[in-house]
């Protein structure tokens, strides 16, 4: 129950108790009745149930009963109208908000579609929010969808294994599709649909069970990750090489070292195209380290200074965020 509904419920309860208390005290004072008889007479009068009188009424008691009956009817009508108003306003706000969200989703392109907002999907969304990357969440659970809407995030409530829902999320305009549902079979089916809606979309999938990776690749995933296996490797490396883990944490999460890993695409018009790493003075000019160079399906890790940069290459660079932004501008 939201704040407005709680407020109306509290006011209604207060008004109802007040009129019952007033009636009980009135009958006890006017007719000199016991607490139970006075409460019973008040209840049947306010609720207009039409039972017989609990005790004979004096002229003053009858006048008080008339007043109490009209007051009770008025209180009931006020309570009913307040609840109807709040419900109508809430439904209208939800309807307007839904239409606004759908309109905003229709305007999105080159965004990321995240299927599933469980623990894994929640972690993905947190990173995308921090990086300011446009995304849409597809989720079936109404409570999770409500939480996302209250956080002003784009969400489509529905089954990610249905074409209508994926179209509503703009999969045909998205650049990346992340399948992190809690079931491998649903992930497989959602991947097949996403690949059908957009053949060149990048698909990243979560494998729930061991051995599911192959099925997810066959369905069309470009990358498959098993979080339990990755988590186990991370724990082992932390135990064996804690300094390496600290460096990776600093690189990926922007701690005091303020380092980031980024993919930098070299465009044909870039000033770096055709030059070697040494000739482009990448380290001196931009203050970054080229960890790897990807060309087509092949990758060169720790490329040497004589490695030539060609248009279409992807540089995996490590450095401060501002330095990475500078080299991204230089590769345009």
The domain limits of the chain are 3-102, 109-230, 257-330
Q: How far is Cα 235 from Cα 189, in angstroms, rounded to an integer?
A: 32
In this structure, what token pair is assigned to residue 268? 């044909």
Distance from the Cα of residue 273 to its chain's centroid: 40
Q: Which residues of the chain have pLDDT under 50?
A: 1, 92-93, 95-100, 255-256
What is the rounded distance in angstroms from the CA atom of residue 260 to the CA atom of residue 148?
28
**Alpha-carbon span 238 to 71, nearest angstrom:** 72
Work out the number of other CB atoms within 10 angstroms of the CB of residue 67: 14
Q: Tokens 């005290």 map to which residue?
A: 25
| Torsion angle in degrees (nearest 10) through CA of 199, 204, 209, 214 | 50
pLDDT at 95: 46
From CA 76, how far away is CA 67, in angstroms rounded?
14
* Parallel, antiparallel or unpaired: strands 259-265 and 314-320: antiparallel
Strand 223-225 to 155-157 pairing:
unpaired
| pLDDT of res. 92 | 47
pLDDT in the model for residue 123: 92
**How far is 55 from 137, CA to CA, in rounded Å?**
65
> What distance in Å separates the CA atoms of residue 77 and residue 83, rounded to the nearest whole number?
10
For residue 14, what is the DSSP state?
H
Is 197:181 a contact under the CB 8 Å cutoff?
no
Q: What are phi and psi of 14, to 5 degrees?
A: -65, -45
Any idea which fold 109-230 has? Rossmann fold (3.40.50)
CATH of domain 257-330: 3.30.70.1450
CATH number of 3-102: 3.20.20.140, 1.20.58.1610, 1.10.287.70, 2.60.40.10? 1.10.287.70
């Amino acid at each position: 129950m939201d704040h407005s509904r709680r407020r109306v419920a509290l006011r209604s309860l207060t008004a109802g108790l007040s009129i019952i208390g007033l009636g009980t005290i009135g009958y006890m004072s006017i007719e000199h009745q016991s607490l139970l008889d006075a409460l019973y007479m008040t209840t049947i009068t306010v609720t207009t149930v039409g039972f017989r009188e609990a005790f004979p009424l004096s002229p003053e008691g009858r006048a008080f009963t008339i007043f109490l009956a009209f007051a009770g009817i008025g209180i009931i009508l006020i309570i009913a109208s307040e609840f109807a108003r709040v419900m109508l306003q809430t439904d209208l706000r939800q309807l307007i908000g839904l239409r606004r969200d759908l309109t905003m989703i229709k305007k999105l392109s080159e965004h990321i579609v995240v299927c599933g907002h469980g623990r894994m999907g929640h972690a993905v969304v947190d990173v995308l929010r921090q990086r300011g990357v446009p995304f849409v969440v597809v989720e079936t659970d109404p409570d999770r969808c409500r939480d996302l809407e209250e956080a002003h995030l784009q969400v489509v409530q529905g089954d990610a294994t249905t074409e209508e829902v994926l179209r509503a999320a703009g999969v045909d305009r998205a650049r990346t599709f992340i399948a992190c549902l809690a079931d491998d079979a649903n992930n497989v089916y959602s991947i097949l649909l996403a690949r059908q809606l957009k053949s060149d979309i990048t698909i990243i999938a979560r494998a729930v069970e061991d051995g599911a990776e192959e099925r997810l690749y066959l369905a069309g995933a470009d990358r498959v990750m098993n979080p339990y296996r990755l988590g186990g490797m991370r724990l082992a490396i932390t135990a064996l090489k804690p300094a390496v883990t600290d460096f990776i944490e600093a690189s990926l999460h922007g701690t005091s070292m303020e380092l980031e890993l980024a993919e930098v695409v070299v465009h044909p018009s870039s000033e770096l195209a055709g030059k070697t790493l040494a000739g482009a003075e990448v380290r001196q000019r931009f203050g970054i380290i080229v960890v790897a160079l990807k060309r087509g399906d092949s990758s060169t890790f720790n490329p040497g200074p004589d490695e030539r940069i060609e248009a279409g290459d992807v540089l995996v660079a490590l450095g401060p965020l501002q330095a990475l932004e500078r080299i991204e501008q230089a590769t345009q």
